Amino acid sequence: QQQVKQSPQSLIVQKGGISIINCAYENTAFDYFPWYQQFPGKGPALLIAIRPDVSEKKEGRFTISFNKSAKQFSLHIMDSQPGDSATYFCAATSRGGNQGGKLIFGQGTELSVKP
């Protein structure tokens, strides 16, 4: 119940296309869903995050769509660029209780944007 399942494992998109990465969870207590972007040899960086009181959040070319009833959320990268090539991780946590802010991470998606 603590798992976050992420798909696909790898993704190849042409420049200018839309990249879509999906995540699913089971724990209904999760109430914070961030996405992290990681370049090779670097630490992950927070990209965008959503709370379950909204169904969509957009920041520039990055959009999170959230479906609370289906317990799924996804990252859309519009007009994908070669510079977006990185590994993307979804995550989830429950702010309540004694979780200590523990993030549960998905397995990661390696995105490659071809010029």
The residues of the shown chain that bind another protein, judged by CB under 8 A, are 6, 9, 32, 34, 36, 41-46, 49, 89, 93, 95, 100-103, 105-108
Q: How far is the CB of 12 from another protein (least distance, A)?
A: 17
Q: How far is the CB of 5 from another protein (least distance, A)?
A: 10
Burial (CB count <10 Å: 0-12, 13-18, 19+), residue 38: middle
DSSP 28-88: TT--BEEEEEE-TTS--EEEEEE-TT-SEEEETTEEEEEETTTTEEEEEESS--GGG-EEE
CA distance 4 to 72: 10
Our CB check for another protein shows the closer of 30 and 80 to be 30
Q: How far is the CB of 115 from another protein (least distance, A)?
A: 25
Our CB check for another protein shows the closer of 25 and 36 to be 36
Q: How far is the CB of 71 from another protein (least distance, A)?
A: 18
Our CB check for another protein shows the closer of 41 and 83 to be 41
